Each structure stands twice: as C-alpha cells, then as structure tokens.
Copies of this chain bind each other. A is one copy, B any other.
Amino acid sequence: MLKPDRLCAFSDGVVAIAITLLVLGLEVPSVHDVPEQELRDYILGALHPILGFVCSFVLIGIYWLQHYAVFHFIDRADRILVALNGLFLMCVSFVPFPTGIQAAYRDDELAMVFYGAAQVACSLALLALWLYASRNHRLVLQGISPQAINSMTWRIAITPVISLAAIALSFLNLTAGRLIFLAIPVVHLSHHKADSEWSKANDSVDASRE
C-alpha cells in the first residue's frame, strides 16, 4: 500500500521538526520590557534547561538514526507498520513537553520519571515497529540473516533499558539519574562486536539494491 521510502521521508520531516522545536523551550525575555534579571543570572538560570535541550536533541537524533537503520532493512509496508510508525512519531513529537516540564520542575523526581517515561515510549514504539517488521521476515528484505536481525533488536532495546535505569536511579539521586542518560550516546557511538554482523547485513542490502 504505502511505499516505505515515502513513509520514511515523512517521518524524517516530523523528526527534524520535533528536534528543532526543542529550542522553543528555552525561554527568552520579552524584547519590549527592560529585562528583570541580570543577564548573568538569566543565563545561569537557563543552564539546566539548556542541558535538557542537549539531552533531548541527542536522544531524538539517536531515534532518527535507528529509524533510518530499521527502514534500510524494510522493503514493504502494511497498515500495522504504518500505525506503529505513527505511534513512534507521536512519541517523538511529544518529547518537547516532558523536556519543558523537566526544566521547570528541576528538583522533582516525578519530572524525571515523566521525562524518562517519554523516552521509554519513543524507544519501545521503535522496538515494536522493528519486532513486527522483522518477525519471520514479515516486511524485511529476505536476504537479512537472523543474526543481523538480532543485532538490530539489541541495539534498539538498549535505549529503553537505560532510560528505565535512569528513572529508577532518580529516586535515589536525581543527578545520578540524569547522568545515566549520557550512557545512551556513548553506547551507540562506541563500536561493539554485534556491529560486524549488522554491517555485513547492511552491505549486502546496499549491494542487492544497486
């Protein structure tokens, strides 16, 4: 019904907009009043929201990369895939809200739980999409090996696991919980063994499409 590349292009658009809207959460004082605060204090007060901006930007960036990787393997779409993709996009475009909440309620564990839950929702939606598409090669290219599929599954599953750990740790120590999120880009940027399986699969996809 829907060609995956068109679905993918639309998804890219939504993700690119969501990631760029994050900056609107960084408030700017009115240009028509004399600002109430000293600029130094204003910027210091904005440091926490800026860190939240950076964190959400990095996480959405990683979701985009994984979404791209997933659709590299998918060669057809059905209604369920479209619905799961819509769920993923809805979760991603919701992220600016918990990011803002977390910036305003900076000392509140519940804000971190809400923020972490939104990240869990994004990554679980992506995981569901991938599991649905790859189960018995339902919608993926036939040539993909089971090892490559498993490798991808584990990559995607890392993010919700780390996010859940961050939520749990926040109850002990908020700063520690926040630092845990740092592990997500570190894990994704570092090479790991599973990668070689995945790379081989990837190369064979490229070869078969040329």
A residues near B (Cβ < 8 Å) are: 1-2, 6, 9-10, 12-32, 35, 37, 39-40, 42-43, 45-46, 48-50, 53-54, 57-58, 61, 64-65, 68-69, 79, 82-83, 86, 89-90, 93-94, 96-97, 100-101, 103-105, 108, 110-111, 114, 185, 189, 191, 199, 202
In the complex, how many angstroms separate the beta carbon of A95 from the nearest chain B beta carbon? 8
Q: Residue A20 contacts which of B14, B111, B199 (CB distance < 8 angstroms)?
A: B14
In the complex, how many angstroms separate the beta carbon of A112 from the nearest chain B beta carbon? 10
User: Do A31 and B20 contact each other (CB < 8 Å), given the known contacts A10-B64, A13-B12, A83-B189?
Assistant: no
Q: Which residues of B contact A42 (CB under 8 A)?
A: 32, 101, 105
Q: Residue A1 contacts which of B39, B90, B103, B202 (CB distance < 8 angstroms)?
A: B202
Q: Which residues of B contact A31 (CB under 8 A)?
A: 25-27, 45-46, 48-49, 100, 103-104
Q: Which 8 A-B pairs have the closest CB atoms?
A: A28-B100, A13-B16, A17-B20, A29-B104, A26-B97, A31-B103, A20-B93, A39-B105
User: Do A9 and B10 contact each other (CB < 8 Å), given the known contacts A21-B23, A45-B31, A46-B31?
Assistant: no
In the complex, how many angstroms separate the beta carbon of A70 from the nearest chain B beta carbon? 13
